[in-house]
Structures are given as structure tokens and as C-alpha cells.
Amino acid sequence: MTKSNKPLKDHIRPFLEYLDIERGLSVKTQETYLRLLSSFEKWLKKNNLENILPHELTDKNIWDYRVYLSQRINPATNQPLKKTSQNYHLIALRSFLMFLMDKDIQSYPPEKIKLTKINLSDRPIKFLNLEQIKKLLDSPNTSTIQGLRDRAILETFFSTGLRISELTSLNVEQIKITNTQDDLELVIVGKGNRPRPVYLSPRALKSLSEYLSTRKDKEKALFINYKGPKDADKRLTPRSVENIVKKYSKIAGLPSFTVPHSIRHSFATNLLSQGVDLREIQEFLGHKSIGTTQIYASVTNKRLKDIHRKFHNKSLE
């Protein structure tokens, strides 16, 4: 290990380049790391540590930064930063320090940064029940081409549990529909460049077939925008899909938390409630760690508790 003579903050840009070139992370993920590390950089400046060298970082510095995060007020909510948000900042810092280690630069040991313990109750899962999902899926007006596209988007979301970036990355050539097909397996490359299979149900395939029958263009993207300049990229953006889900959640009279990710939550909790093993759900969702998937167990645990209270307690009455 060598001691760098450059301030810690000057290593942030090379770290972002490392995320792009060596780890192949998306632009959006790189932007998230930059935002989180910018917070650390501002804290350094506020405490007259902007010129601290990597090997000069101490236990006290890390502790003071953690105290700063715990006392920080989120301007959007006017509430203290949630523990999950605090952990995102710490994870970004830890990854940054791991990068320095990988480059043989002496610095604070990344393994010494422990995350704040979070109870499952601190991370409530917001999902829709099957009745609400049905209302959402049935809300587009399928007499229009936009309605057919939007119905196909919603059906694909609930059938696969895809992330929004994964859905918008789908291409027409991946959808090969036959008359004898019960379902369709796709292999997609998800977060962290990890491939995994996802499955389209007959209902989702029917919606996709109806939508694709209206496509006379040669666009590569599966889901396209019908508005805008003719020479512009037609692939729907994640923001556009978020707006589509928001539109139909209002039409269906669903809770305000209904976003693409809550459909993904609904996909997972529906499988779990039917007895699918947590490890299998991990594979469906493309989670790197079972710890990420474990959060859905809290939904089942609460459901079992409610059933026990409702039925078992009455058995002795």
C-alpha cells in the first residue's frame, strides 16, 4: 500500500470512472454515487478537512460523519434522514474506500464502517393486493394504440417483477410469441450486469401480442413513445413509464404510493403469500443478496400474526 499525496476528495472522480469502466455500472448508478459522496465532500469542507489525505482518515472522522448523517434534516420532508438513507451514504463511502484499497492506496479500512441496524418495521413494504392490481391492469383504454401499449407495460411489470430500467431496456426481438405458448421465458441482464430469467404469463403475452400487432415501425425498443420529433429516440424513458403508472393509478383510484417499484413489491409479496420460497423470489427479482429479499418476509410474518390473532385466539372461547 502506498500513501497518496492527493486529498481524499480528489480521488472521487477516478472512483466514478472506475465504476463506469471496470464495474460497468449504469449512468444512473454513477450519478447516485456522486450525489452521496458529494454529501461526504461537503461535510469534509464544513469541518475544514477538505485537504485530508486518504491515510489520515480516522475513527473519529467516521464517527463524526455518522453523527452528522443522523442529525441531518431532509429538506423535502423536514424530517431527520431515515436510517436507510444514512446507510446509502455509508455504503457509498465504503465502496469508495474499497476502490482505494483496490488501487493500493492506503486509507481507512472499509470493513470498519458498519451500517446502522434497521428493523423491518423501519422499512415498510408498500404493495397492492390482487384486487387493486386487477383494477390497475384493467384501467388503460385499449381502443387506442397508447392504451394497448400501456396495458402491455403494466402486465409485463406484474408478470415479471422487472425493475423500471430493465423494462425500458427490453427490445422487440426478445418477444417471440407463438400460438401454442403457455408462457415465455426471457433472459435479461439486470443490475450489476447479472443475467437472470424472467417469465411472461399468458395474460401478459396476450397484451403484448395485441400491442405489437399495431407496430408498423422498425424501432428496436419494445416500448416506444408515440410523441416527439420523428428523428428522436423512441424508446420510453424510466420517467415516462413512471408517469404512465401514476396516470393509471389515479384512474383506478389506487393509493398515492403506487409507482413501478410498488408493482415489483406486489409481484414479490404475491408469490410469497402463495408459498414460494424466499430464495426463489431472490432469483426472480435479481437480488444479489438474500438479505435484500428478506424484507418481504415481514409482510408474510404480519399476515400470519393477523391470522393467528383472528382464528387461534377464538378457538378457546
Please give the positions annotated as active site: 163, 191, 261, 264, 287, 296
Instruction: With CA atoms as reference, report the closest residue to 3 among 120, 104, 89.
Output: 104
What is the grid cell recorded at 284?
426472480
Rounded (10°) CA dihedral 142, 154, 126, 114: -160
Rounded to an integer, what distance in angstroms lies between the CA atom of residue 47 and that of residue 175?
55
Rounded to an integer, what distance in angstroms lies between the CA atom of residue 299 and that of residue 291?
15
Rounded to an integer, what distance in angstroms lies between the CA atom of residue 234 and that of residue 237?
9
Rounded to an integer, what distance in angstroms lies between the CA atom of residue 312 and that of residue 317?
10
Residues 6+ apart with CB under 8 A from 206: none
Rounded to an integer, what distance in angstroms lies between the CA atom of residue 133 and that of residue 2?
56
Rounded to an integer, what distance in angstroms lies between the CA atom of residue 71 and that of residue 118?
17
Q: For cell 411489470, what's the residue?
A: 157
Provide the strand spans (E) within the chain: 73-74, 79-80, 184-189, 195-200
Exposure on the CB side of residue 161, measured as CA atoms within 13 A: 22
Rounded to an integer, what distance in angstroms lies between the CA atom of residue 166 and that of residue 190?
6
